[in-house]
Structure 1
Amino acid sequence: MTEPQASPVLPPAQVPGRCPVLWVEDDPVLSDWVAQSLQDDGWRVLVAHDRSQALQLLEHGVPKGQACVALLDMGLPPLPSRPDEGLLLLSQLVARWPVLHAIVLTGQHEKTVGQQAVHAGAFDFLTKPVTAAVLRQALERAAWFSLRQQELWAQGRLHLSVSAQLSEGVREASDQVAEQLIRHVLGSNGFNVAAAARALGLEREQLYYHMKKFGIQRQASPDTDPGTGA
């Protein structure tokens, strides 16, 4: 029996703010349907049906420091009823592509597999079945952070150490990635909000929103009068 060939890469996206999406799913019907839907939304989609195909596609199609989102089903051959192969692929992807953001799809013991996925480096996870609206929102969010990290990587300024506590939940773990990126960019820009907003591709009002959400405040100077804030 000949080894199945990787599906062809679909045409590049024409929508600004989008990055390649690696879509790994062993069900050919579901795989084709989701790939076509994402392509219609303007994403460049790389379709693979197993771990070796996924790695091959990225090796040939996505440079190390390029933004990318991986959308991964955990149940992959040769043991599609277990998450082992999907978790192994996830760990290999985040090790080789430092700005890649992975979204895991799972219906197998959701909480346990989700925690394992975050421990292996997943940015987010979605429980199957997932609606198109939820999937689009997750992709947009992951792509935004991946693109910002690509910019920092190009400037030689990307150095994040993510230490999310799994006991706090998967969504909170994703928020910690966002918080550390924002703190890193603010610190790199001397806490100049306008400069940091430009580096992150945000409006200042949006950055202020995230700062408030994460409780990020500028440290007062030793010479500042605490009573006046001057």
Structure 2
Amino acid sequence: MSESLKVLLVDDDPALRGMVAFALESEGYEVDEAESQTTAKAAFENFEYPIVVLDMGMPPHEHTTKEGVDVLNWIGIYHPMTLVIVLTGQDAQATSYVVLKEGAFDFLEKPISESALVLAVKRATLFYQQNQKLRTDEGIQKMQINAPIGEGVKPVRNQAEEKMLRQILADTNFNVHESARRLGLKRENVYYLIKKYNIERPEYEGQ
């Protein structure tokens, strides 16, 4: 990891928070913890977190995804450069569709393994660093300042995400399996992003 990033961990389960914090701190990350929507929002008053690990089911609606989705939406509006990795024990298929649609960077189903979590955070770190470089190299900071009020900079993050995806698809001759491996994503997530950005398979010679 080229630089140490601080991660905000949002989960009402202290045992899980302890496990996740230990795994990430062992990899050189700093970890702050929050146990609710309220404390998660309060944490952002003191620091602009590049990465958030967010549980979907928290009190007072721990049996639904409401609290997690509310936090995800709030981050998307007020901290759109923050990458959110979602954890859930809810219906995986339905939840993954909702959270990816709402702008989550990644999705992990409980029970999670330390290795899968660390891989997801490292992938988010790489993307965040590349995104920061893109903003600097291509003057996206200026675009951010000039963005219409109410739009924020979510379109900028989408632009960086789309550019990275297109580059990897081009490098692999549109091999989704290999692209998913390089990105550390599931193939269905890559297909979702291809559809999201209306990326069409190019015609290669000999095809």
TM-score normalised by length of structure 2: 0.69
Partner of 1:119: 101
Kept after mapping to 2: 8 A contact 1:105/1:128 = yes
Partner of 2:24: 38
Q: Which ranges in structure 2 are unaligned for 5 or more consecutive residues?
A: 142-154, 175-198, 200-207
Q: For 1:99 and 1:73, how far apart are their aligned partners in 2? A: 19
Q: Verify: 1:82 aligned to 2:68, yes or no.
A: no
Q: For 2:173 and 2:45, how far apart are their aligned partners in 1? A: 36
Aligned partner of 2:172 among 195, 209, 213: 213
Q: For 1:40 and 1:51, how far apart are their aligned partners in 2? A: 26
Taking structure 1 as reference, are residues 161 and 154 closer, same or farther at Cα in structure 2, changes over 3 Å only? closer
Partner of 2:133: 151
Deviations 1:140-173 (A, max 9, x none): 101111122123335532653749xxxxxxxxxx
Q: Verify: 1:160 aligned to 2:130, yes or no.
A: no
Deviations 1:170-193 (A, max 9, x none): xxxxxxx74x13379xxxxxxxxx
**3-state SS of the aligned residue for 1:130?**
coil
**3-state SS of the aligned residue for 2:33?**
strand
Aligned partner of 1:70 among 52, 56, 78: 52
Partner of 2:91: 109
Q: For 1:121 and 1:98, how far apart are their aligned partners in 2? A: 9
Structure 1 position 54, deviation (Å) = 0.9
Which AA in structure 2 matches 1:142?
A
Which AA in structure 1 matches 2:36?
D
Q: For 1:99 and 1:53, how far apart are their aligned partners in 2? A: 20
Mean Cα deviation higher: 43-52 or 15-24: 15-24
Q: For 2:15 and 2:35, how far apart are their aligned partners in 1? A: 11
TM-score normalised by length of structure 1: 0.62
Q: For 2:173 and 2:54, how far apart are their aligned partners in 1? A: 28
Taking structure 1 as reference, are residues 88 and 61 closer, same or farther at Cα in structure 2, changes over 3 Å only? same
Q: Compute the RMSD of aligned alpha carbons.
A: 2.8
**3-state SS of the aligned residue for 2:53?**
strand
Structure 1 position 40, deviation (Å) = 2.0
Q: For 2:173 and 2:105, how far apart are their aligned partners in 1? A: 17
Q: Verify: 1:47 aligned to 2:43, yes or no.
A: no
Taking structure 1 as reference, are residues 214 and 84 closer, same or farther at Cα in structure 2, changes over 3 Å only? farther
Kept after mapping to 2: 8 A contact 1:23/1:72 = yes
Which AA in structure 2 matches 1:134?
A
Deviations 1:183-227 (A, max 9, x none): 79xxxxxxxxxxxxxxxxxxxxxx7x65323649xxxxxxxxxxx
Structure 1 position 20, deviation (Å) = 1.6
Q: Which ranges in structure 1 are unaligned for 5 or more consecutive residues?
A: 1-14, 164-176, 185-206, 217-230
Q: Verify: 1:27 aligned to 2:10, yes or no.
A: no
Q: Verify: 1:60 aligned to 2:21, yes or no.
A: no
Structure 1 position 100, deviation (Å) = 1.1
Q: For 1:61 and 1:160, how far apart are their aligned partners in 2? A: 21
Stretches (4+) displaced over 6 A:
none
Kept after mapping to 1: 8 A contact 2:11/2:55 = yes
Structure with greater Cα Rg: 1
Structure 1 position 16, deviation (Å) = 2.8
Kept after mapping to 2: 8 A contact 1:72/1:103 = yes
